[in-house]
Structure 1
Amino acid sequence: MGDEVKGRVEWFKDYQFIGRIENNSCSVILGEGGISPMKLLLLSVAGCTAYDVVMILQKMREPIEGLEVEIGGERREEHPRIYKKVHIHYKIYGDVSEEKAKRAIELSQDKYCSASAHIKLSGAELTYSFEIIKS
């Protein structure tokens, strides 16, 4: 059995909600004045893969100095308005090998990133690109 995660979303006012994960001091404002759940889903994918890529490159002993992950998605017109296309662009800073950067991204996308897997399982086309910005 996998790890169980529990959270709660509470109506705050108007169309604003506060989301919290149990046993975590962080919270997020959803809706008006906050972030939409679907945009948060994109940021979750970007955060998940960013974590993987940094960890993998560090384990490869690559001199990564920074990482930015840009993400964009296109949603269906009909309900449910799930993502039909998602593109991720990685900006990797440092004297990182192009081959190892590509491998780290592939490992994240094909094996480790659970959030990306959810997007793919919904039938969305997930693509990615990357660039290395040498110091």
Structure 2
Amino acid sequence: MKGKVRWIGDSKFEALTEEGGKILFGEKGISPMKTLLLSVAGCTAIDVVMILQKMREPLEDLEVEISGERREEHPKIYTKVHIHYKIYGNVNEEKAKRAIELSQEKYCSASAHLKLSGTEVTYSYEIIREKV
């Protein structure tokens, strides 16, 4: 994996991946620490969708909400992170729970990075049978 971050003026930075993906940091962009949280949410969302699809569950949509608490002193790492899964469709609750557990305990590398640094990662979920 390769990428680079380039200063583009004032307090703005552009992050580029070798595949052409871009993220804007700083002014009118996302902070690197918020990007870290969103990366965890994205990582586990991908896992859960793929696992539920392999289980042939009737998943219609998925939203992953994430929040974090950081310590006051530098480096201001996350001490607590909570992930909330909103699973849409007539999905079996045990299978949904298992998909989340597999993501959190085995597959999500981004979440594992936080846990290895001592961050307390918790999660909750809800199954919404009909999307409003």
TM-score bracket for the superposition, by shorter chain length: over 0.9
CA distance in 1, matches of 2:92, 2:30: 36
What does residue range 3-18 of structure 1 map to in structure 2 within 5 Å?
A: 5-18=1-14
Q: Which residue of 1 aligns with 2:67?
A: 72
CA distance in 2, matches of 1:48, 1:37: 16
What does residue range 28-43 of structure 1 map to in structure 2 within 5 Å?
A: 28-43=23-38
What does residue range 1-135 of structure 1 map to in structure 2 within 5 Å?
A: 5-22=1-18, 24-135=19-130
Amino acid of the structure 2 residue aligned with 1:100? K
What SS does the corresponding residue of 1:86 show, helix, strand or coil? strand
RMSD: 0.5
CA distance in 2, matches of 1:17, 1:76: 25
CA distance in 1, matches of 2:51, 2:91: 12
TM-score by length of 2: 0.97
Deviation at 1:16, TM superposition (A): 0.5
Amino acid of the structure 2 residue aligned with 1:41? L
Deviation at 1:25, TM superposition (A): 1.9
Query: C-alpha deviations, 1:37-71, integer Å up to 9, x for none?
Result: 00000000000000000000000000000000000
Query: C-alpha deviations, 1:14-53, integer Å up to 9, x for none?
Result: 111000111x122110011100000000000000000000
CA distance in 1, matches of 2:54, 2:28: 39
CA distance in 2, matches of 1:19, 1:63: 36
Work out the number of aligned pairs and report it: 130
CA distance in 2, matches of 1:28, 1:64: 29
CA distance in 2, matches of 1:77, 1:25: 35
CA distance in 2, matches of 1:20, 1:110: 30
What SS does the corresponding residue of 2:88 show, helix, strand or coil? strand
Q: What runs of 5+ residues in structure 2 fail to find an aligned partner?
A: none
What SS does the corresponding residue of 2:111 show, helix, strand or coil? helix
